[in-house]
Amino acid sequence: MNTTIGWALAAAGLVGGYLLWGWRGVVLTFSVVVFWLLLQFSRSLRVLKNAGSAPIGHVNSAVMLHSRLKAGMTLMQVVTLTRSLGTKLGESPERWGWADAGGARVSLLLEGGKLVSWDLTRDDVAADSTSRAPP
């Protein structure tokens, strides 16, 4: 969810709660917002815990990862797919990479925290390099 929309909904809930039930509505809305934030925090910790047990920058199959990527994914969604933290390849623009045991590598380009493009390279055939970007 877009953070601007999320905070706007929280503010609207606080105003609506106050108008309908007074201070009790504000307390209820505040409780719901805190619960939502705790759910998001718990999800982030679970993803990082699962990724922390795997080698950095390693994935079982780079080809399968390449086929499952979609434009607009966040880095947390990619880490959920890979079950591994990626290797940072560049700061500006933000680039991350994963490799498998067979020598295939996937490089991701993120802008504004969202996946923009990615490419797959294989060591076994130097000419076999594919690139995908959103249509």
Helix axes 23-52, 75-82, angle to 10 degrees: 40
Mean pLDDT of 112-116: 91
- The verdict on 80 and 95 lying in the same domain is yes
Whether the Cβ atoms of residue 24 and residue 30 lie closer than 8 Å to each other: no
Encode pLDDT of 64-93 as tens digits. 999 999 999 999 999 999 999 999 999 888
Encode pLDDT of 27-61 as tens digits. 999 999 999 999 999 999 999 998 888 889 999 99
- The verdict on 32 and 63 lying in the same domain is no
- The verdict on 47 and 65 lying in the same domain is no
- The verdict on 72 and 124 lying in the same domain is yes
pTM here? 0.75
Q: Length of the chain in residues, anyone?
A: 135
Confidence label for 124 from pLDDT (cuts 50, 70 and 90): low
Confidence label for 126 from pLDDT (cuts 50, 70 and 90): very low
Per-residue confidence (pLDDT) for residue 127, from 0 to 100? 44
Residue 55 phi/psi, 5-degree rounding, is -65, 145
Alpha-carbon distances of 49 from 30, 35, 42, 52, 83, rounded to whole Å: 28, 21, 10, 5, 9
Task: Name the average pLDDT for the chain.
Answer: 89
**Residues spanned by the domain of 40:** 3-51
Any alpha helices (H) in the chain, and if so which ranges? 3-21, 23-52, 62-68, 75-82
Helix axes 3-21, 23-52, angle to 10 degrees: 150
Per-residue confidence (pLDDT) for residue 129, from 0 to 100? 55
- The verdict on 12 and 46 lying in the same domain is yes
- The verdict on 123 and 106 lying in the same domain is yes
Per-residue confidence (pLDDT) for residue 120, from 0 to 100? 94
